[in-house]
Amino acid sequence: MFKLRRYLAGHYAECVLAPLFKMLEALLQLLVPLVMAQVIDVGIATRDAGYVLAHGALLVGMGVLAWVVAVTAQFFCSRLAAAFGTAMRDDLFRHVLSLSREDVERLGRASLVTRLTNDSQQVQDGLNMFFRLILRSPFVTFGTVIAAFIVDGVEGAVLLVAVLVAGALVLGFMRVTASRYRDIQRGLDEVQLGVSENLEGVRVLRAFRREDAERAAFAQTARTVRDRQVTTGDISALVNPLTYVTVNCGLVALLWFGGAQVNVGGLTQGQLVALVSYVSQALVELLKLTNLIVLLAKASACAKRINEVFETEPTLADGTLDAAPEQGAPALAFDDVSFSYPGAAGDALSHVSFALAPGATLGVIGGTGSGKSTLASLALRFYDVTGGEVKVGGHDVRDLTRHTLRRQVSLVEQGATLFSGTIASNLRWGDPHASEKDLEAAVATAQATGVVAGKEGGLDAQVEQFGRNFSGGQRQRLTIARTLARRPRVLILDDASSALDFATDAALRRAIARDCADMAVVTISQRVTAVRHADQILVLDGGQQVGLGTHEELLAGCPVYREICESQLTAEEVER
């Protein structure tokens, strides 16, 4: 947790005031047994009612003051913990967004969700209790020992031994349970993964009647986490009883020696009552310290998992160049590009080259696994090429800042994603300053006018989480409209119309050609009809570039392309 101390910056006053007020509360608590000893030894012994009432009023005043001090300390602790948690989560979320797809996949999406939610809350709670008790509990515990020594040296030694033994038990249990709490958090990652996968793929799950199998698998994962929690809980549960036994053994010894001292006149009854009160205070504070240690063990395990994310440096360093496209340069160019995914046996793309001029169109076609989507990912620099160069506007994408690159190149993927809000708020992801007229134009080009008009409120119609209140084709058209509202220089459509019927798909392609004549458009598809009218068609097969040219040129010189055409079109349609 020490590595996360930077999130306390700007709140150093609370860092000082919170424990100070807690120590003031503890000091008042330590004075109570001494006042009670005086009431017994002086007020009650001499039957002085005025003395008893005066000291009783003093105890009431100390109680009220202790309450005010405790509330003030809790206010500072809560304020500090809330500010710390907010700053840490904001920074963690910002860091996660800076990671590449490779980094996110390596850490695990489910694990990142758990770390952003459960782990961060555990750390925040641990910090809150830390500032509440880390000074107060040791101060009261050793304060009672010192006060006991002041009252009687032998009794103080007995209490000291009991406190040291109990403290050793607490620290020993902390060492044992810390690693176990990390295992529990990893188990929660698996639970989160199972839940998210089943919720996202619920239709497939039901279609294949996998409910029972998935229910059993989830139950097994949950049982594993439960067993870890129970085992760790059983170990932690031993701390309190052992602390009770240790301190109460000390209390028995204290009463034994103290009673003997009272009989011989070496100790007054009031002093013995004060010693018993100090033992009770020490027991309570040791139990609080025990619970704090358990909570800190959880928080420490969670903090290590959060620090793992912070220590993950983005594999793709952001470029530094923020420059306009070079005059006369291709809008998008691949120069002998090769790429292989981490851990893959071979290249996903190998020696791919093409140049796309501003306003021109490029169709990319190939079988499943031929590298079409990989090409789109490289253009957006989701990954870095392992060979060759990808250039946008004449500049290597590795030199451009992410903001500059993503401003010039936009991608619409097959998996259309909408966010909760309104249609307008989703469309303005492309351009936050887009006017309603701009949005309507983008919607019209994307063939989504009917979609918007069919919803109550039009552009202000509500969008549920992940766009669940829209069909697949409607979501695709709205995501295309969102990208068109941005007016990028290069538009990449990665099977973005796969859920559209042929007539709507054709109307969409005609509208883009008409309304986006200044954009360079890359259409990635397995449909020949989607790419045949492009200025150039790139044919991929197993990651290899096996053809580049017009429809007619490829029919004559590329067997792979001709085979694809003949598998989808009639002989007459192929030659048309």
- pLDDT tens sequence across 375-405: 999 999 888 899 999 999 999 999 999 889 9
Q: Which amino acid is at 416?
A: A
pLDDT at 155: 74
Q: What integer pLDDT is reported at residue 375 of this predicted model?
A: 93
Hunting for tokens 């809350």 — which residue is that?
121
- 335: pLDDT confidence band, cut at 50, 70 and 90? very high
Residue 470 Cα distances to 101, 171, 494, angstroms: 27, 56, 20
Q: Which of 174, 167, 118 is nearest to 296 (CA)?
A: 174
Distance CA 305, CA 303 (A): 5
Round to whole Å and give the CA distance between 310 and 90.
12
How confident is the model over 154-160, as a mean pLDDT? 77
- The answer, yes or no, to whether residue 251 has pLDDT greater than 80, is no
Q: How far apart are CA 457 and CA 466, in angstroms?
A: 19
- H-run or E-run covering 336: strand 332-339
Say yes or no to pLDDT of 278 above 80: no
- Tell me the angle at which helices 49-98 and 120-133 cross, rounded to the nearest 10 degrees: 150
Integer Cα distance of 495 and 373 in angstroms: 9
pLDDT digits (tens, 9 = 90+) for 338-381: 999 887 778 899 999 999 999 999 999 988 888 888 999 999 98
Report pLDDT for 576. Answer: 65
Nearest to 418 by CA among 377, 461, 372: 461
Question: In this structure, what DSSP letter does residue 325 have?
Answer: P
Q: 489 pLDDT band (50/70/90 cuts)?
A: very high
Residue 458 clears pLDDT 80, i.e. is over it: yes
pLDDT tier, 500 (very low <50, low <70, confident <90, very high otherwise):
confident
Q: How confident is the model at residue 12 (pLDDT cuts 50, 70, 90)?
A: confident
**Residue 164: its pLDDT value, please?**
80
pLDDT at 265 over 80: no
How far is Cα 348 from Cα 433, in angstroms, rounded to an integer?
38
272 to 38, 41, 265: CA distances (angstroms) = 11, 10, 12
Backbone angles phi, psi at 415, to 5 degrees: -80, 90
DSSP state of 6: G
Quick one: average pLDDT of 233-239? 75
Q: Per-residue pLDDT for 299 more than 70? A: yes
pLDDT digits (tens, 9 = 90+) for 515-545: 888 899 999 988 888 888 899 999 999 889 9
What's the confidence (pLDDT) of residue 55? 84
Architecture of domain 332-575: 3-Layer(aba) Sandwich (3.40)
Q: What is the pLDDT of residue 162?
A: 79
Beta-bridge mates of residue 396: 391
Question: What are the residue ranges of helices labelled H in 434-501?
Answer: 436-445, 449-453, 472-484
The domains of the chain are located at 8-310, 332-575
pLDDT surpassing 70 at residue 481: yes
pLDDT of residue 416: 80
- Asked if residue 57 has pLDDT above 80, the reply is yes
Domain 8-310 shares a fold with domain 332-575: no
Q: How far is CA 249 from the centre of its chain?
A: 47
Res. 300: pLDDT tops 70: yes
Q: What is the pLDDT of residue 391?
A: 93
For a pLDDT cut of 90, what percent of the chain falls above it?
Answer: 18
% residues pLDDT > 70 (the chain): 98
Residue 1: per-residue pLDDT? 64
> What's the token pair of residue 45?
């012994």
Q: What's the mean pLDDT in 272-290?
A: 75
- 8-310 has which CATH code? 1.20.1560.10
Tell me the pLDDT of the chain averaged across its residues. Answer: 84
User: Mean pLDDT across the stretch 91-103?
Assistant: 87
Most confident of 73-82, 255-264, 267-276: 73-82
Is the per-residue pLDDT at 307 higher than 80? yes
| C-beta of residue 131 within 8 angstroms of C-beta of residue 19 | yes
The pTM of this model reads 0.69
C-alpha–C-alpha distance, residues 21 and 133, integer Å = 11
Helix, strand, coil percentages, rounded to 5, for the chain: 65, 10, 25
How sure is the predictor about 90, in pLDDT bands with cuts at 50, 70 and 90?
very high
User: What pLDDT does 254 receive?
Assistant: 73
- Residue burial 386-395, b: 16+ Cβ < 10 Å; e: rest: eebbbbbbeb
pLDDT in tens, 424-452: 998 998 788 888 898 999 999 999 998 89
More confident residue, 41 or 95: 95
Instruction: Tell me the helices (H) and strands (E) count for the chain, helix number first.
Output: 22, 12
Position 29 scores a pLDDT of: 80
Are 100 and 383 contacting, i.e. CB atoms less than 8 angstroms apart? yes
